[in-house]
Amino acid sequence: MTATVGGTRATTESGTASGARATTTSKPVMATVSGTRATTASGTRAETVSGTVTATVSGARSVAATVTDPELPMLTLDELGVLRSVAEDDDGRVVVSITPTYTGCPAMDAMRDDLEHALRDAGYADVEIRTVLAPAWSSDWISESGRRKLAEAGIAPPGSVRRRTGPVPLTLGPTVSRVVCPRCGSADTEEVSRFSATACKALRRCRSCAEPFEHVKEI
Ligand SMILES: [Zn+2]
């Protein structure tokens, strides 16, 4: 990804739809940076180093942001809120931080592999995927566009999670949530099974249009 040309160092990325973009600076990029440069999962901010936009990090982030969830393939890991940050350390290694959704979610290994393959295919040879546990993921982290895509796919998105501080009272009854049918919009729906094709979804049925549908549970 880096090459020294006539005393200047060029940083390029390959494999993107827009072709190779190059950033040239009068001094080595790495020498101007201490620690890591990162773009946050919540935005697509480009990093500026000595007045020059570095294509490498924002490029790696945009590649990582296209990777989809194996269990909810209509959502990217970014929309799911799993992609925390994409950074590059001083040695040119791309470090991707992800946060597990559910405890024991079997898709985590697939997410890790998919991110690694996507970045390698885009020309980032040295990739490390790190797992970040805090703050813990919540279904509230699913973005608005992610919720819209779930509904368009016939899956009811999760409602918002009630935040509590202090002791949490536990009840023995079933969890009651008002879930709207993604097909007809009726609120007259019932839970058929707490689990459906994947552990993160419940199976519900609409009493109005009689269609079964899945619901991403609040957590
Ligand atoms: Zn319905």
* Domain-wise residue ranges, the chain: 33-131, 139-160+177-216
Separation of CA 74 and ligand 1 centre (Å): 21
Q: Rounded to the nearest whole angstrom, what is the distance from the C-alpha of residue 190 to the centroid of ligand 1? A: 11
Q: Give tens-digit pLDDT for 82-113.
A: 999 998 777 778 999 999 887 777 788 899 99
Distance from Cα 180 to the centre of ligand 1, integer Å? 8
User: 125-180: per-residue pLDDT in tens?
Assistant: 899 999 999 988 999 999 999 999 999 999 999 988 877 778 877 778 766 678 99
Ligand 1 center to residue 212 CA distance, Å? 8
CATH dotted code for 33-131 = 3.30.300.130
Give the DSSP letter of residue 182. Answer: T
Peptide bond between residue 28 and the one before it cis (omega within 30 degrees of 0): no
pTM of the model: 0.67
Q: Which residues contact 193 (CB under 8 A, 6 or more apart)?
A: 202, 203
Query: Maximum Cα–Cα distance for the chain, whole Å?
Result: 72
Residue 179 Cα to ligand 1 middle (Å): 11
CB count, 10 Å around CB of 212? Answer: 15
* Amino acid found at 91: D
Q: Is 57 helix (H, G, I), strand (E, B) or coil?
A: helix
